[in-house]
Amino acid sequence: MKVLIKNGRVVDPASGRDEHADLAVAAGRIVAIGRVPADFESARLIDASGCIVAPGLVDLAARLREPGHEHEGMLESELNAAAAGGVTSLVCPPDTDPALDEPGLVDMLKFRARKLSLCRLFPLGALTRGLQGEVLTEMAELTESGCVGFSQAEVPIADTLVMMRALQYAATYGYTVWLRPQDGCLGKGVAASGAVATRLGLSGVPVAAETIALHTIFELLRATGARVHLCRLSSAAGVALLRAAKAEGLKVTADVSINSLHLTDVDIGFFNSAMRLSPPLRQGQDRDALRAALADGTIDALVSDHTPVDADAKTLPFGEAEPGATGLELLLSLALKWGGDAGLDLPSTLARVTSAPVQVLGEALGSLASSAGRLVEGGVADVCVFDPSATWAVNPAGLKSQGKHTPFDFASTGTALPGRVRATLVAGTVAYLSPAQ
């Protein structure tokens, strides 16, 4: 189908392009940016006046809960949520039910996602069978099925020998291992250690849980030459270690979640279980360090950490509630909010959710690596059109995701978020069009 996006401001962080131009799409690819031939007849016209025309967002962490929740139609609802959030590619962790440790499961998931044509799905394979931390998975087979990396999700590997072997094996093929830097024993608490957890009587997760894990990971990187992506950094001390590791030349990248970027432990308030998150929300100085690190590129990407949680699993006392919050539909707005607060220009802000995540994925994206997360003539037409000056009040009932729990809902915060997606294209197909269009 031929689509013409007219009158928008095209912003492509990867190339530095920032200009008013029309964008023409045909056969799933961008055929022209500006200089659109006069005889281009589009089947669909999108008026992007007053809007930004950006690459579709690339979210490196979004849980879709499938396999495991097929009967709830989770894949469809969550991919619709992605499209509504302007996300055209997402990476999902392997902690599904069953875990993504078999090529057949990955094939099925990718097949079903492709049929929906709402968002590109890049699964992470389990690093060990069943995430048990004992036996390696068939990483080569899983990569052939479409896995872009290997992960333990939230499950720590207790045995450092196994972890080293896993990194060595992955390094053989150049696969990236995605790890949550959290020590298994120290990480059992429900809130970040500190004055708030002490006052509320909640078991704490000390910063050492993150820094000890980072030290271990970096030592193993030095020993194995593997490449690691660190998932969901949460502390200033962690940021400092990451900075030193990058300066040293270790092959490491990192992301931070929208929650850790904007919230602190004080936001737990009166035991609000919407704030029950993993990693737990830390203190103000940690948030400030994360924000600065994302701005200077020490932390490469911003992720939604989208985790739909059942209402029954959240209306429980704080310590018993399941951690997680919905995020796909908030990623863009929270990126813009952070960028605005940090005084960054729009391309720099958008880079953290478009071109930078693609660089993290690197060769794992295969042929897509050259055009995903960017707007380039001849490249794939994954586009997000959004109005940067619109604001919206987050209302859980109005979200497309089945995950209705978010710390950012208007009823709690009283604050509307900036930026509204007007249209999302994936491979040239309109995956989302806002009712106003």
Partner 1 sequence: MLSRRNPQLNAHGELIHLLSIEGLPKAVLTHILDTAGTFLSVNDREVKKVPLLRGKSVFNLFFENSTRTRTTFEIAAKRLSADVINLDIARSSTAKGESLLDTISNLSAMHADMFVVRHSESGAPYLIAQHCAPHVHVVNAGDGRHAHPTQGLLDMYTIRHFKKDFSNLTVAIVGDIVHSRVARSDIHALTTLGVPEIRAVGPKTLVPGDLTQMGVRVCHDMAEGIRDADVIIMLRLQNERMSGAMLPSAGEFFKNYGLTDGKLALAKPDAIVMHPGPINRGVEIDSSVADGSHSVILPQVTFGIAVRMAVMSIIAGNEA
The two three-digit tokens of residue 436, written as one number: 């106003």
Q: How far is the CB of 186 from partner 1 (least distance, A)?
A: 13
**189 forms part of the interface with partner 1 (CB under 8 A):** no
Residue pointed to by tokens 């990483």: 139
**195 forms part of the interface with partner 1 (CB under 8 A):** yes
Among 110-118, 296-304, 337-345, 412-420, which window interacts with partner 1 (CB under 8 A)? 412-420
* Nearest to 323, CA basis, from 372, 280, 271: 280
**395 forms part of the interface with partner 1 (CB under 8 A):** no
Between the alpha carbon of residue 109 and those of residues 12, 74, 128, 353, the distances in Å are 30, 12, 19, 24
* Nearest to 423, CA basis, from 48, 121, 122, 162: 48
Residues 246-285 that bind partner 1 (CB under 8 A): 267, 269-271, 273
Q: Give the type of residue at 202.
A: L
* Max Cα–Cα distance, the chain, nearest Å: 69
**201 forms part of the interface with partner 1 (CB under 8 A):** yes
**416 forms part of the interface with partner 1 (CB under 8 A):** no
Nearer CB in complex with partner 1: 320/345: 320
- Beta carbons of 336 and 352 less than 8 angstroms apart: no
305 is catalytic: yes
Q: How far is the CB of 396 from partner 1 (least distance, A)?
A: 16
**73 forms part of the interface with partner 1 (CB under 8 A):** no
Helix (H) or strand (E) holding 351: helix 346-351
* Nearest to 358, CA basis, from 2, 14, 12: 14
**222 forms part of the interface with partner 1 (CB under 8 A):** no
Nearer CB in complex with partner 1: 41/312: 312
Q: How far is 136 from 166, CA to CA, in rounded Å?
A: 7
Alpha-carbon torsion (57, 59, 63, 64), positive or negative: positive
Nearer CB in complex with partner 1: 1/311: 311
Nearer CB in complex with partner 1: 20/199: 199
**334 forms part of the interface with partner 1 (CB under 8 A):** no
For 424, which DSSP code? E
**413 forms part of the interface with partner 1 (CB under 8 A):** yes
Task: Reduce the DSSP state of residue 418 to 3 states and report it.
Answer: strand
**Which position among 22, 95, 305, 409 bears the catalytic label?**
305
**173 forms part of the interface with partner 1 (CB under 8 A):** no
**391 forms part of the interface with partner 1 (CB under 8 A):** no
**192 forms part of the interface with partner 1 (CB under 8 A):** no
Q: How far is 152 from 130, CA to CA, in rounded Å?
A: 9
Q: How far is 379 from 78, CA to CA, in rounded Å?
A: 26
Among 122-130, 173-181, 200-208, 382-390, which window interacts with partner 1 (CB under 8 A)? 200-208
List, by residue number, the catalytic residues: 305
User: Which positions lie near partner 1, rule CB under 8 A?
Assistant: 193-195, 198-202, 267, 269-271, 273, 312, 315-320, 412-414
